[in-house]
Structure 1
Amino acid sequence: MNQPTLTSDAPQPSGPPGQLDMSALMSFMQRFVADVSAAGTVVMCAIGSRLGLFAELVRSGPATAAELADRTGTRERYVREWALALATAGYLTRDGDGRYALPPGPAAALGDADGPFYMGDMARLMPALSAVSDRVIDGFRTGAGLHPEEYPAELFETVWHKDANRLGKVLVRQWVMAVDGLTEQLRVGGRVAQVHCGDGRALILLAQAFPRLELVGYDPVEINIRRARAEAAAAGVADRIRFSTADPAEDLGDGFALVLAIDVLHEAPDPAALLRRIHDALQSHGVFLLLATNGEDVPPAGPNPVSSMLYAISTLQHVPQGLAAGVADPAGLMGLPPALLDRLCTEAGFTTVERLMEPSPFNTLYELRA
């Protein structure tokens, strides 16, 4: 069946002749329908990720809706509609016997939660953020923000899984090794700190890889700190990692061989002040590893899907949380573009600001030295 198409045969809007370009209107309406469809597809992917539907198709192969429901302990009527939504979106295939399958690309991106190309967490992020949209709308009217604890548990769980999946593959084997001499320095021992450490995954991985390190992680969110302490205990490294909700700008101390800030500098109430404090906390040959969001010195004039997604996330999460923390004009997720970041790092006293790599389309990894 052909897809329904909007045409200029649609009712003409009232108003002075020539005021509206009907061709441009039809084009936009087609685009808007496609965007609404994509939004629905993302929600379907979040459902498939949470219920293990994608993982089961990868694990056991093609299935009818009834077979997939039986394998996953779900109800066939829901699974049937879900599968049709994703088949018509091109994410699933459907054969003549009504069996659904994940092609290789979607299988790697959605069906293997521990694989290097997994993107299911990204799908789960948007519904979790959308759950607070009513409060964000209130914020538009009042200027009020949202504290992290006001967001659903699903948001934290999604971020924890994303960090575990990503950092377990790249932190020690790629990022640390990309810095000249850092692996050898950490083997000798020393002090390591992380600001806004989340569930502590990065520090736990470093503690496991380098047994002589002493580590400290800071995060203002109590649920993250509780999770970090539990994960460190489960990994057998709790005796070497201290987790705290204290402000690192006040509690950090000095003499650190390595300081980490992984995609969080924009969340600091005063990024410039935090950069100065990190600079002063490093020992003479210390390293600051900074993963920063790829903001833009000049926002793109035309459509840009990556930027659009990041600005939307910032609207729902980073700006409200910054306002709740008492920041009059929060940076937001995109608020530290390269030129500004370079200037702030230089003003903080860093003499080396080197771009090591771009681990994803969303981030750049920097090595900074005092």
Structure 2
Amino acid sequence: MAVQPGRNDLKAQSWPMARSAQSLGLAYIGIVNGLFATLRRLDVAEANRLAEAAGMDPGYVRCWCDAAYAFGYLEAEGERFRLSEAGAAMDPQAPETLMPVAVQAMLNMHMAERAAELMRSGARPGEQVMAERATLLPWFGPMLEASFSAFFAETIGPGVPIFAEVDARGGLVVDLGCGNGWYLRALARRFPNLRGVGLDGFAENIAQAQRLAEKDGLGERLRFAPGDAHEFTLDGPADIIAMNRALHHVWEAGGAVFIRRLRDNLRPGGAAVIWEPDWPADRAALRAPARRGFAFQNLTEYVQGNHLLRAEEIAEAFAAEGMQPEIHRFGEGPEAVVVARRAS
């Protein structure tokens, strides 16, 4: 019989998790206030100089520097600080940046607090909870971009043939719920003939997306505008309507009606390209490392009025509306892309 851990053993195992949460909280403060990026530029600086250069309050920055030193993000030389290897990795511009880990951790804590409160009443306030913390929303798009853009460019883009088909005829891709526009920018870099339109319900996201497209020299091919994914309208039919991990945001409000709207806004032969985290049919699969976070994400989605979907149910919904779906799975299973073509 396996020996069960005693209460003291469980406590000993739990404290490091609490310290990890504190560590990621410190990293988040440094990311959103530009402290890691500023200290990388300065190389070495006293806390007051760092505060001045970052435009922050010196008292807060002094306390942050001490804490960041304690948790290994900074090295100290007397009263001067420089980034450690861990601190340099938290710079959003660092190769393989760890920024999304810290941002996701803070988003998780925000959503956990909201779930704890709302569980009493059963209220599901919707996606507006994403904008309840002033520092979180501007970093949501960069978090997704840093987490998924390389995977998309190296694996999904080459693995979904319709992108190349539409590129060959200079077609139009519409991205619903585009966030900061990273998905369209990744497509435009790989497929030079594609044109793109991104729609999003948050003005902050639209402004950020347009700014980044201009910065990348893609402003003539990509445009971004406010738009409600639930009731979007297009100037004309699209070759591809893409949703990047966003279909579950509109599903409970009427999945069949929404699928018909997608179909009716596509050219004959065009396709909906739906990238979703694939909810497993067997609960036991949630304990696999690659899927473990899905269960927590599903709870946070419930707060927003959503739930995660199985790739098969998405494909079945498209088939019921006369479209031809196929499922592509990536990332050893957890990531699914459903391509559903409208009849020619």
Q: Distance in 1 between matches of 2:218 and 2:13?
A: 52
The alignment partner of 2:6 has SS state of helix
Q: Distance in 1 between matches of 2:271 and 2:86?
A: 38
1:55 and 2:37 aligned: yes
Q: Distance in 1 between matches of 2:35 and 2:326?
A: 47
Q: Which residue of 2 aligns with 1:368?
A: 339
The amino acid across from 2:25 in the alignment is V
Q: 1:283-320: per-residue Cα shift (whole Å, max 9, x none)?
A: 4543433321253333458977775655445544x222
Instruction: Measure how far apart 1:180 and its partner are.
Output: 3.0
Q: Is the 8 A contact 2:180 2:205 kept in 1?
A: yes
Q: Which residue of 1 aligns with 2:122?
A: 143
The alignment partner of 1:27 has SS state of helix
Instruction: Measure how far apart 1:198 and its partner are.
Output: 2.6
1:118 and 2:101 aligned: no
The amino acid across from 2:328 in the alignment is E
Q: Distance in 2 between matches of 1:162 and 1:59?
A: 22
Instruction: Measure how far apart 1:350 and its partner are.
Output: 2.9
Say which of 310, 313, 320 aligns to 2:303. 320
Instruction: Rate the CA distance shift 1:136–1:57 in 2: closer, same or farther, 3 A.
Output: same
Q: 1:327-350: per-residue Cα shift (whole Å, max 9, x none)?
A: xxx31xxx2245545555555543
Q: Which residue of 2 aligns with 1:30?
A: 12
Instruction: Rate the CA distance shift 1:306–1:170 in 2: closer, same or farther, 3 A.
Output: closer
Q: Which residue of 2 aligns with 1:290?
A: 274
Q: Is the 8 A contact 2:273 2:340 kept in 1?
A: no
The alignment partner of 2:324 has SS state of coil
Q: Which residue of 2 aligns with 1:162?
A: 143
Say which of 303, 311, 324 aligns to 1:350. 324
Q: Which residue of 1 aligns with 2:161?
A: 180
The amino acid across from 2:273 in the alignment is L
Instruction: Measure how far apart 1:194 and its partner are.
Output: 1.9
Q: Distance in 1 between matches of 2:96 and 2:229?
A: 35
1:260 and 2:274 aligned: no
Instruction: Measure how far apart 1:137 and its partner are.
Output: 4.1
Q: Is the 8 A contact 1:138 1:144 kept in 2?
A: no
Q: Distance in 2 between matches of 1:44 and 1:65?
A: 15
Q: Distance in 1 between matches of 2:238 and 2:188?
A: 15
TM-score normalised by the chain length of structure 1 = 0.68
Q: Distance in 2 between matches of 1:201 and 1:253?
A: 22
Instruction: Rate the CA distance shift 1:117–1:295 in 2: closer, same or farther, 3 A.
Output: farther
Instruction: Rate the CA distance shift 1:167–1:93 in 2: closer, same or farther, 3 A.
Output: closer
Instruction: Measure how far apart 1:50 and its partner are.
Output: 1.9
Q: Distance in 1 between matches of 2:81 and 2:224?
A: 48
Q: Distance in 2 between matches of 1:290 and 1:34?
A: 38
Q: Quick check: which has more Rg, 1 or 2? A: 1
Instruction: Measure how far apart 1:261 and its partner are.
Output: 0.7
Say which of 314, 336, 344 aligns to 2:309. 336
Q: 1:146-167: per-residue Cα shift (whole Å, max 9, x none)?
A: 2434523322201133355567
TM-score normalised by the chain length of structure 2 = 0.72
Q: 1:163-207: per-residue Cα shift (whole Å, max 9, x none)?
A: 555677676676444433633532522332222223444446656
Q: What is the total number of aligned residue pairs between the two structures?
A: 333
Q: Distance in 2 between matches of 1:312 and 1:165?
A: 21
Q: Distance in 2 between matches of 1:247 and 1:104?
A: 41
Q: Is the 8 A contact 1:229 1:238 kept in 2?
A: no
Instruction: Rate the CA distance shift 1:220–1:53 in 2: closer, same or farther, 3 A.
Output: closer
Instruction: Rate the CA distance shift 1:65–1:308 in 2: closer, same or farther, 3 A.
Output: farther
The amino acid across from 2:225 in the alignment is F
C-alpha RMSD of the superposition: 4.4
Q: Is the 8 A contact 1:262 1:292 kept in 2?
A: yes
1:188-267 aligned at under 5 Å gives the runs 188-203=169-184, 215-221=196-202, 224-225=205-206, 237=219, 241=223, 243-247=225-229, 251=233, 255-267=237-249
User: Alignment identity in percent?
Assistant: 20
Instruction: Rate the CA distance shift 1:299–1:173 in 2: closer, same or farther, 3 A.
Output: closer
Q: Distance in 1 between matches of 2:277 and 2:110?
A: 24
Q: Is the 8 A contact 1:167 1:201 kept in 2?
A: no
Instruction: Rate the CA distance shift 1:101–1:244 in 2: closer, same or farther, 3 A.
Output: closer
Instruction: Rate the CA distance shift 1:229–1:84 in 2: closer, same or farther, 3 A.
Output: closer
Instruction: Measure how far apart 1:46 and its partner are.
Output: 0.5
Q: Distance in 2 between matches of 1:305 and 1:44?
A: 26
Q: Distance in 1 between matches of 2:205 and 2:48?
A: 39
Q: Which residue of 2 aligns with 1:42?
A: 24
The alignment partner of 1:153 has SS state of coil
Q: Distance in 1 between matches of 2:324 and 2:105?
A: 36
Q: Is the 8 A contact 2:291 2:334 kept in 1?
A: no
Q: Is the 8 A contact 1:186 1:257 kept in 2?
A: no
Instruction: Rate the CA distance shift 1:129–1:25 in 2: closer, same or farther, 3 A.
Output: closer
